[in-house]
Amino acid sequence: MQKDNTAAQRQTKRLERLADQGLYRKSILVHKECNKVFENLKPYFANPKSIDDLKKLADKILTAKPVNVAKVRQISPFRYPGGKTWLVPEIKKWIFGLNFRPSLFIEPFAGGGISSLSMAIEDLVDRVFMAELDPDVAAVWKTILSDPEYLCDRILNFEVNRNNVLEIINSEPQNTKQRAFKTIIKNRTQRGGIIAPGASLVKSGENGKGLKSRWYPDTLVRRIRIISEFKYKIEFHEEDAFKIINKFKNDSNAIFFIDPPYTAGGKKAGKRLYKYNHINHENLFSEMAKVKGKFIMTYDDTDEVIELAKDFNFLVSKVPMKNTHHEVKYELLIKKPD
Ligand SMILES: C[S@@+](CC[C@H](N)C(=O)[O-])C[C@H]1O[C@@H](n2cnc3c(N)ncnc32)[C@H](O)[C@@H]1O
């Protein structure tokens, strides 16, 4: 379409004429009949003198320090790519701010599940419900909740060296338990904990310790045993997130934590990190709009996601986090208005 230069020029001239009369785009024109209402509203306007204070406050929020992850009790056996350990304090704050005790915490994109585990173990909710589509990840949760000692035994008796690791990675598991162990080995010895196809083994790793740099058998076993002690509060399903959201959408006492693969706005990160990464984000927002309970969603900070949240009248805020290169990045927290 051709741009109408004449119309644009006419508009510029009009604005210039108004400026000559002291009227700018930010001026407010009030009809004399509305003057009384306008006077009543005036106390609620921001005082221009407060603008500096408001700006300082906004700067303070935007430069808020990222959460110190070391203060969060790590309880997941996974080192999960895109894991939300750093967000746990925010989720706790959110739950403390609700004026009821949630009966159920639902995490439909569970991955490493640190949020669900923290809420269950710290007793912020009655029960947690985790769902995950990836059968490799699902196998770990199913085994921890049904036969944790199988995993503990294999972990404690496994010697990490290149041959042993490759033997497990190239094996064809015959059952869920074997699949769970293979997933743990991949998660601990592949770069960035990525278990999706295409991931390679770590090379030098932390302190040049190579394949062993993320292998802490005693810690893993301790975590698995703690989780299994809380199994009466934890439910896991190998299911599609959308099905789970639909299942609980009418439960106003249930709360949701939604952390999908970040693929909105053409972002590639989620594609490399997870085997299952195809999400219709608009559909997800539309399903969340139908949910009766409260929810919190996380996304990376992109214009597309902010626009989508606006379309559904959701509230958006930004939280700082440190990425793997120790740079401070912001992520979006999206909630339903009260
Ligand atoms: C960003 S990660 C979740 C990370 C998790 N919050 C944590 O702290 O470890 C997204 C997860 O969603 C899973 N996923 C992708 N599509 C799914 C679907 N349709 N239903 C359930 N899970 C899905 C992926 O396999 C991946 O584990």
Q: Does 262 lie in the same domain as 247?
A: yes
Mean pLDDT, range 183-205, rounded to an integer = 91
Q: Is residue 82 in a domain?
A: yes
Q: Does 95 lie in the same domain as 214?
A: no
Number of domains in the chain: 2
Cα-Cα-Cα-Cα dihedral sign, residues 14, 19, 20, 23: positive
Question: What's the maximum distance between 2 C-alpha atoms anywhere in the chain?
Answer: 85
For 76, phi and psi rounded to 5 degrees? -80, 140
**What tokens were used for 60?**
């303070």
Q: Is residue 51 in a domain?
A: no
Closest-lying ligand 1 atom to the alpha carbon of residue 78: 9
Q: Is residue 77 in a domain?
A: yes
Q: Tell me the pTM.
A: 0.81
pLDDT digits (tens, 9 = 90+) for 5-43: 788 888 888 888 888 887 776 677 788 888 877 776 776
Q: How far is the CA of 245 from the centre of ligand 1 (A)?
A: 14
Q: Does 143 lie in the same domain as 124?
A: no
Q: How far is the CA of 242 from the centre of ligand 1 (A)?
A: 12
Q: Has residue 69 got a pLDDT over 70?
A: no
Q: Does 288 lie in the same domain as 329?
A: yes
Closest-lying ligand 1 atom to the alpha carbon of residue 112: 9
pLDDT digits (tens, 9 = 90+) for 244-302: 999 999 999 999 999 999 887 666 677 789 999 999 999 999 999 999 999 999 998 99
Q: Has residue 332 got a pLDDT over 60?
A: yes
Closest-lying ligand 1 atom to the alpha carbon of residue 115: 8
**Residue burial 97-114, b: 16+ Cβ < 10 Å; e: rest:** eeeeebebbbbbbbbbbb
The beta strands (E) that lie in the chain are given as 104-107, 127-131, 234-237, 254-258, 295-300, 315-322, 328-335
Give the per-residue pLDDT at 15. Answer: 84
Q: How far is the CA of 80 from the centre of ligand 1 (A)?
A: 10
CATH of residue 169: 1.10.1020
> Is 102 near ligand 1, meaning CB less than 6 Å away?
no
Q: How far is the CA of 201 from the centre of ligand 1 (A)?
A: 22
Q: Does 144 lie in the same domain as 207?
A: yes
Give the per-residue pLDDT at 329. Answer: 84
> Is 75 near ligand 1, meaning CB less than 6 Å away?
no
307 pLDDT tier (thresholds 50, 70, 90) = very high
Q: Can you give the residue range of the structural domain that contains 65?
A: 59-133+239-335
Give the per-residue pLDDT at 48. Answer: 66
Question: Which of 164, 196, 226 delimits the end of a domain?
Answer: 226
Give the per-residue pLDDT at 93. Answer: 94
> Is 79 near ligand 1, meaning CB less than 6 Å away?
no
Q: Is residue 18 in a domain?
A: no
Closest-lying ligand 1 atom to the alpha carbon of residue 262: 1
Measuring from atom 3 of ligand 1, which residue has the nearest CA? 111
Q: Has residue 1 got a pLDDT over 60?
A: no
For residues 144 and 146, what is the distance between their CA atoms, to the nearest angstrom? 6
> Is 81 near ligand 1, meaning CB less than 6 Å away?
no
CA 165 vs. chain centroid, Å, equals 31
Q: How far is the CA of 132 from the centre of ligand 1 (A)?
A: 6
Lowest mean pLDDT among 18-27, 52-61, 65-74, 165-174: 52-61
Q: Has residue 166 got a pLDDT over 70?
A: yes
Measuring from atom 1 of ligand 1, which residue has the nearest CA? 261
Q: Does 267 lie in the same domain as 122?
A: yes
Question: Between these two residues, 71 and 180, which has the higher pLDDT value?
Answer: 180
Q: Is residue 109 in a domain?
A: yes
Closest-lying ligand 1 atom to the alpha carbon of residue 278: 16
Q: How far is the CA of 24 from the centre of ligand 1 (A)?
A: 49
Give the per-residue pLDDT at 263. Answer: 81
CATH of residue 307: 3.40.50.150
Question: Between these two residues, 266 and 219, which has the higher pLDDT value?
Answer: 219
Q: Has residue 171 got a pLDDT over 90?
A: yes
Type of residue at 75 = I
**What tokens were used for 207?**
């302190």
> Is 281 near ligand 1, meaning CB less than 6 Å away?
no
Closest-lying ligand 1 atom to the alpha carbon of residue 134: 25
